Amino acid sequence: MSVTQPERPGDFARRLEDRLSGIAGVELVHERMAQWSSDAAEKLAPVHVHAMLVNLKRLDAINMAYGPAAGDGALEEVAARVGHFANEELDAPWVLARAGGGSFVLVANITCSRERWQLIADQLADLLSRPIAVPSGMLHLSPRFALVRTLTGEAVESMLERLGAAMQTASEQQGARLVWADGEAIVPGISTAQLEADLLGAIDRDEIEVLFQPQFSLADDTLTGAEALARWDHPQLGRIGAGALFNLAERADHVGPLSRHIARKALWAARDWPGHLRLSINVTPEDLAFDSYTRQMLDIVGESGFPLRQLTLEITEQSLIADVTRAAQIMAEFSAQGIRIALDDFGAGFCNFRYLKVLPIHYIKLDRSMIEGITSDKRDLAVLRAIVAMAQALDLEVIAEGIESVEQRDAAAREQCLTYQGFLRAQPMSVALFDKLARTEAEKA
């Protein structure tokens, strides 16, 4: 007969610390900010520190309703999402730390305006608001954000105190999701209306840059193609990544034109790729809602000369929620032309398996959250095996996203995934750099 010891006070906190050991405490913020100041002093350059405090306001209720394990899992997932987001969207040194309870602090040494930092926070808020799957069901978090731009020579303690005070203000305001800390010397920024106008002008002036995220075979590590991404170098705000770019376009009701603009640029850039490299293009909910989307997209592909049979369209579950029947019809029309369809970010949302039955798809593209733990957690590996087995039964191929280590790549290969993308082999790169990579790979073959 086994006896289970009752959990002593502090045991849960220690277990959580163990499982989140990859996320340091605020001591790391002290170290990094000191290093940034030291480096700047040597170069006689200023330090531009921006920070945001993220608080999960429903965590206590989740712990009470679903148990500590659910809250633990939610914190792990939030930490992973914030880390990956910062990797992809912050073109500057950054550090993520736990600030106690259900709070994290993200600090970046980045030159940007108040508007851009708020735009980044808005995008992260949308990401953290997506459902989180735990054994007991789907969790919906309601994150609050406090933002700050540090004053010249401001101490870390002062920055954290101002963030904490701002978060308290947010908690007292009904419906407040984002607040700025007081006491900042803020220069006049760019209004949202002006930012939206700048975006429309950037599209017209062809200032949106296309990037390619290379994809590789898991059988022999050869280059198989790339996913088209985008970024915008705003003259005042600096670099704006794809996520923030589309958030801004949504506010301006211009997602569809931006999406097709990126598709057109990517197709023309890829038309002279060597061999049989595939191009993957993301499809937005606004694209699927546009009556003439299929015809316009086929016209864009035809004008570029890129082979239809080497094109993949990536569609997320979010794009399907509004009208899955209409989405299925559009995908069938593309599929009839030889274009392949991938269900993107599989595992990040509700994982509605009905989509796999009713949609004419060819690939399941696993979200990075489905890959992260496959080398350390038997359950994560078991989930991957189950997904691959299901895909094979449905005659679908599996693409692994977010491969960041050799061990992850090897595990995905052993489980018979088809291709992968991630920082292990290559980060998103310019058109010119991808062309060079493609030529080099072709010469090796």
pLDDT at residue 198, as a whole number: 86
As a whole number of angstroms, the distance between CA 393 and CA 200 comes to 45
Asked if the structure places residue 395 within a domain, the reply is yes
Asked if the structure places residue 5 within a domain, the reply is no
Same domain? For 206 and 286 the reply is yes
pLDDT at residue 357, as a whole number: 84
pLDDT at residue 9, as a whole number: 35
Q: What is the mean pLDDT of residues 288-303?
A: 93
Residue-averaged pLDDT of the chain: 83
Q: How many residues does the chain have?
A: 445
Same domain? For 258 and 387 the reply is yes
Same domain? For 139 and 232 the reply is no
How would you classify residue 429: left for phi > 0, otherwise alpha for psi between -120 and 50, otherwise beta? beta
Q: Which of 120, 147, 180 is the last residue of a domain?
A: 180
Please tell me the total count of domains within the chain: 2
pLDDT at residue 17, as a whole number: 45
pLDDT at residue 94, as a whole number: 92
Q: 141 to each of 12, 178, 223, 257, 279, how far by Cα in Å?
A: 20, 15, 38, 32, 35
Q: Classify 23 as helix, strand or coil.
A: coil
pLDDT at residue 410, as a whole number: 96
Same domain? For 300 and 152 the reply is no
Q: What is the mean pLDDT of residues 139-167?
A: 84
Q: Considering only 278-287, 345-354, 402-411, which range has the smallest mean pLDDT?
A: 345-354
Asked if the structure places residue 355 within a domain, the reply is yes
Residue 442 clears pLDDT 80, i.e. is over it = yes
Q: Which of 128, 155, 180 is the last residue of a domain?
A: 180
Same domain? For 169 and 113 the reply is yes
CATH number for position 106: 3.30.70.270
pLDDT digits (tens, 9 = 90+) for 234-290: 887 777 778 778 877 876 778 888 999 999 999 999 999 988 899 999 998 888 888
Q: Classify 213 as helix, strand or coil.
A: strand
Which domain range does residue 35 map to? Answer: 14-180
Same domain? For 349 and 305 the reply is yes
Same domain? For 361 and 385 the reply is yes
The confidence band for 335, taking pLDDT boundaries of 50, 70 and 90, is very high
Q: What is the DSSP string of 252-302?
A: TT-HHHHHHHHHHHHHHHHTT-STT-EEEEEE-HHHHHSTTHHHHHHHHHH
pLDDT at residue 266, as a whole number: 97
pTM: 0.67
Same domain? For 222 and 364 the reply is yes
- Tokens coding 3: 């006896």
Asked if the structure places residue 186 within a domain, the reply is no
Residue 375 clears pLDDT 60, i.e. is over it = yes
Same domain? For 154 and 236 the reply is no
Same domain? For 156 and 301 the reply is no
Phi first, then psi: what are they for 327, rounded to 5°? -60, -40
**288 CA to centre of own chain:** 21
pLDDT at residue 338, as a whole number: 96
**Residue 51 identity:** A
3-state per-residue secondary structure call for 165-208: HHHHHHHHCCCCCEEECCCCCCCCCCCHHHHHHHHHHHHHCCCE
pLDDT digits (tens, 9 = 90+) for 90-149: 888 999 998 877 889 999 998 877 778 888 888 898 888 887 776 766 777 788 899 998
Q: Which of 158, 180, 202 is the last residue of a domain?
A: 180
Q: What is the mean pLDDT of residues 335-354?
A: 84
Same domain? For 386 and 273 the reply is yes
How would you classify residue 81: left for phi > 0, otherwise alpha for psi between -120 and 50, otherwise beta? alpha
Q: Among 352, 356, 351, which Cα is nearest to 370's? A: 351
DSSP state for residue 89 in the 8-state scheme:
H
Q: Classify 396 as helix, strand or coil.
A: coil
Q: What is the mean pLDDT of residues 22-35?
A: 84
Give me the torsion for CA of 255, 236, 104, 130, rounded to 10°. Answer: 0
Asked if the structure places residue 7 within a domain, the reply is no
Asked if the structure places residue 185 within a domain, the reply is no
Q: What is the mean pLDDT of residues 203-229?
A: 95
Same domain? For 229 and 116 the reply is no
pLDDT at residue 14, as a whole number: 41
Secondary structure element (H or E) that encloses residue 234, with its range: strand 223-234
Asked if the structure places residue 4 within a domain, the reply is no
Q: Pick the residue with more confidence: 262 or 323?
A: 262
CATH number for position 317: 3.20.20.450
Asked if the structure places residue 252 within a domain, the reply is yes
59 CB-near residues (< 8 Å, 6+ apart): 71, 74, 75, 101, 102, 141
pLDDT at residue 21, as a whole number: 42
